[in-house]
Structure 1
Amino acid sequence: MFVDSVDSDIAPSGTLLGLLQRGRGDGTLHALAAPRTEALSALRHCVLHDPRRDWQIEHRSLYYARLHMELDAGLDDIEGHLFHRDDLVLTEAAEERTGLALSVLGHLVSYGDKGALRLLRRYAVAGANWQWALDELAVRDDDSGLRALGSAILARFPPTSEGDAALGEAARNAFEPRPWRLWAEDPAHPEQAERLRLLQERGNFDRWQRQLHTQGPRPGWSVREVLTWAQEGGEQPAGPHREAAAARCLAAVAGPDDRPELLAAARSGPDACRAAALRHLAERGDPDALDLIQEAATDPASGYDGAPLPPVVSSALASFARMRSVAALERARQWAAHRDDALGLTAAQMLATRGGQQDAKAVLGALRRAVREQGPDSDDLWPLVDGVGRLTVHCAAPVLRHIYRETASSQLRGRTARALAATDPAFPAGFAIECLWDCEESTRELAAEHATTGDARVVERLRRLAADPAEQAGVQSAVRGRLSPDAGPPG
């Protein structure tokens, strides 16, 4: 019925490895019931080969750290991975190669694992991704432990102009400033403190100089000059994308007499120029903007299959998606009902976000088609999933269950769980229970609010989450609400 995930790096959802890679709660439950060697092998694969589609927004580290403790997994595999020879060769990909393992170690430190603390300290001194390790230590190590690292880490930067520049950049880019502050105030190493103080002063002065003498490109102050400037940016190889900036400039300089020139540019100008004019007209609510968007988005390559779109089509769709007028909503209803291309999909997404109950059928149809043609991992699903939940489309539950099981994105799975909570009466006694073990904080919080307490596992899990020092505040607040004497249904 639906296209399955085609990501070859993600195992099927029915396997233990596939469940753990997705961060599903059932992954933990199945791992604890499986033979220990099998569970350890799957956990090791996940920690050492980050399965996340986007490691910057998806969470796995606490999920894997908890399972690591449950299985008493040991640190040998993580140590071998961190100090492998690839660590010094693949420096540009260090964050992707070792970031997850370092974050797992950080959570293990939070649970009192001294071996994990020692391993993080060693890697901060010798590893390629030392800044990530230092950030983990910054929120978990004590002052004396952090001070002891200062000399070794500063020794990475030779006392030359290039070394000082690199050191200053590292200090400014640190996610957690605590270690740098301790080193700059350490009375036991005055030379270290002086070096960091001078670098901070120099950095402040350089920043002031850059702000005083900005050399960025500036357009002329007429409609034609702004459009020309936008096109020049689009023609440069990997050049600056000036569409948004040009639209802001047009808002400042364009008057009623310039409308014919803007309409002509939006209809047949060069790509970057056309995109800027379209965006300006859409933002101003021009009466011809919707027709121009339809014309720009009607392209043979603008299908429904998730393939990259031509730049002008992408710009036109984005301009339409930002529109908030009643006319745009009415046009979205027409396009969603009669178009099967990217414009029809964008129209359905607008209805999912802003439409009413009369739009439920169109939103559900778009969701089913997107899953059928693009699979369960498409970014196009996100607003549609939210939409069927917002509109309480009960007959969307089967396709939502399919997305929940199959998607490799833990963020999308969490949104799907929220939609199921609104549309599927079986959710509290079904997926909500496994969501208590999910890798995403927001999904665990949702589960704490909805999971039925008629299942013996639920109350025990709620109590463990309430006592877990690494659990997030939002989850614990929801848990306390369910465990309080005055808590009522569900369950």
Structure 2
Amino acid sequence: MFDPVIAPSGTLLGLLQRGRGDGTLHALAAPRAEALAALNHCVLGDPRQDWRVENRSLYYARLYLDLHGGLEEIEAHLFDVEDQLDTEESRTGLALAVLGHLASYGRHDALLLLRRYAAGGASWAWALDELALRDDDAGLRTLAGPVLARFPATPEGEAALAAAVRDAYEPRPWRLWAEDPRETVGARIRAAREQGSFDRWQRQLRPTGPRPGWSVRAVLDWAQEGHERGTDLSGPAARCLVAVAAPEDRATLLDAAAGGPDGARRAALHYLAEAQDPGVLDLIECAVDDGSHAVADAAVTAYRRMPGEAAVDRARRWIRRPDALGAAAAGTLACRGGTQDSPRVLGALREIVRTQGPDAPALYPLVDGAGRLGIVCAAAVLRHVYRETASSQLRGRTATALAATDPSFATGFAVECLWDCEETTRELAALHAETGDARVADRLRRLAADPAEEAEVQTAVRNRIGPDLDLQV
């Protein structure tokens, strides 16, 4: 899947792609045809940076309802010939999830479209999971034949069926079909379930590969062998070292961390960092300066995981570095530093935004740190990140930081956040949005009454009932 092209944040399309609350508000005020075109563009071309952690489906489904949008564009996308050529779930997953939410709101056309796609589409398993949550037993029973027809009655087909039953995210359809009296349906599903259970039992008993001997040298050699095969075993090797390393082995581990072969060096650095060895910080710095790319990455990762004040003290020196170790040091101070570190964290935040933009991964801990430390003068750069980032996860964390640093948050961004695509951001807004705004009162009532809304958001809404707002729902 190609990285999505994100429109400027000041456009309707850019707002909707980001999942911002202002996207919904602007769409409802725009000409309906223009709003639906932008909405379809988002649903058919998933704009998320990481579809596994960012939410958009409920956000877009609600907008379809508000705009009384038809599903012709989604239908054409799902049943396009490309569906058989590009079988990646990322091509259709967002559209199917939107249909699932629309079905839960009572859109029968969305339910029928999901059934059709489950019967004939490439990402049928995703559609079936959506139906498992929303369809009735009768509707699911009609899909038994089309789904089982995908698996020929051959050893390979039965193995694939057993894997599909075993790995199903929502087991309800398979359990329902297992009760079917027909030999070609119920008996076949029951046999597949038994085979899946047997396969799982076999995997638990089967050795997963070579294992290290029980000595420090054997563990380091095992880590090096894995590195030569292209497998990073530094984490498992470090856990093994916890079990076998004794005080007399420290010299061996320090030598390996200072100049051993890459696989052994990575494992030794990982172990020494978790053990808070007094010499590991100097070894980490040397590994970043003179080690290979793999060793430098392992050293930075090991440092990020280090507990203790020594790591925080060293971060105050390393934060000036213009490399990955400097970014890790900034993150350490943001998460664990004191108020005396506020200028350093603010400087790192501004520098990352200036040099890497509002979507840089290094911004996550710095944004959190600005809120944790209450850096009021960071509000300006946080507002910029909030507006421009394409990541709804980062925007939500930025909103949390603004709630702690920006006095205008309650009457500004908090109001918009009530329509945000992320439930944690809506929850934050429900706690902070100024209820003197008429839009806030109406939106809180809708969230409280919406059966699709997350329980945490509704709890936050109901916490406003009383002195702040009288919600009649």
Same fold (TM over 0.5): yes
Check 1:254–1:485 CA distance in 2 against 1; reply closer, same or farther (3 A cut): closer
Match of 1:180 among 174, 181, 205: 174
**Residue deviations 1:1-53 (CA, integer Å, cap 9, x gap):** xxxxxx77000001110000000000011111111111111111001000000
Check 1:8–1:81 CA distance in 2 against 1; reply closer, same or farther (3 A cut): closer
Contact 2:386-2:399 at 8 Å conserved across structures: yes
Matched residue type, 1:51: P
2:450 aligned with 1:468: yes
1:45-444 equivalences in 2 (<5 Å): 45-91=41-87, 93=88, 95-187=89-181, 189-236=182-229, 239-298=230-289, 310-336=293-319, 338-444=320-426
**Residue deviations 1:323-382 (CA, integer Å, cap 9, x gap):** 11121221112222x433221221111111111111111111111111111110111110
2:8 maps to which residue?
A: 12
Distance 2:461 2:200 in 1: 46
Check 1:215–1:69 CA distance in 2 against 1; reply closer, same or farther (3 A cut): closer
SS in 2 for 1:386: helix
SS in 2 for 1:156: coil
Q: 1:407 Cα shift?
A: 0.3
Distance 1:184 1:13 in 2: 50
Q: Which runs of 5+ in 1 are unaligned?
A: 1-6, 301-308
Question: Mean Cα displacement is larger for which, 401-410 or 324-333?
Answer: 324-333
Check 1:213–1:37 CA distance in 2 against 1; reply closer, same or farther (3 A cut): closer
Distance 2:447 2:306 in 1: 43
Contact 2:441-2:469 at 8 Å conserved across structures: no
SS in 1 for 2:462: helix
Distance 1:457 1:472 in 2: 20
2:31 aligned with 1:38: no
In the alignment of these two chains, the number of paired residues is 468
Contact 1:60-1:439 at 8 Å conserved across structures: yes
Question: Mean Cα displacement is larger for which, 59-68 or 221-230?
Answer: 221-230
State TM-score, norm by structure 2: 0.96
**Residue deviations 1:433-489 (CA, integer Å, cap 9, x gap):** 11011000000110111010111111011111111111111111111122x224479
Alpha-carbon RMSD: 1.6
Contact 2:376-2:406 at 8 Å conserved across structures: yes
Contact 1:105-1:120 at 8 Å conserved across structures: yes
Contact 2:448-2:461 at 8 Å conserved across structures: yes
Contact 2:4-2:48 at 8 Å conserved across structures: no
Contact 1:481-1:487 at 8 Å conserved across structures: no
Q: 1:211 Cα shift?
A: 2.5
Q: 1:213 Cα shift?
A: 3.1
Q: Which runs of 5+ in 2 are unaligned?
A: none
Contact 1:421-1:428 at 8 Å conserved across structures: yes
Q: 1:90 Cα shift?
A: 1.0
Distance 1:435 1:396 in 2: 20
Distance 1:104 1:12 in 2: 24
Q: 1:287 Cα shift?
A: 1.1
Q: 1:186 Cα shift?
A: 2.5
Distance 1:70 1:339 in 2: 50
Matched residue type, 2:222: W
Distance 1:299 1:143 in 2: 63
Contact 1:428-1:452 at 8 Å conserved across structures: yes
Check 1:61–1:312 CA distance in 2 against 1; reply closer, same or farther (3 A cut): same
Distance 2:238 2:466 in 1: 57
2:466 aligned with 1:485: yes
Question: Mean Cα displacement is larger for which, 247-256 or 390-399?
Answer: 247-256
Match of 1:29 among 25, 29, 35: 25
SS in 1 for 2:134: coil
Matched residue type, 1:328: A
**Residue deviations 1:103-151 (CA, integer Å, cap 9, x gap):** 1100100110000000000000000000000000000011111111112
Distance 1:132 1:474 in 2: 26
Distance 1:311 1:407 in 2: 29
Once superposed, which parts of structure 1, at least 4 consecutive aligned residues long, lie more than 4 Å away? none
Contact 2:266-2:299 at 8 Å conserved across structures: yes
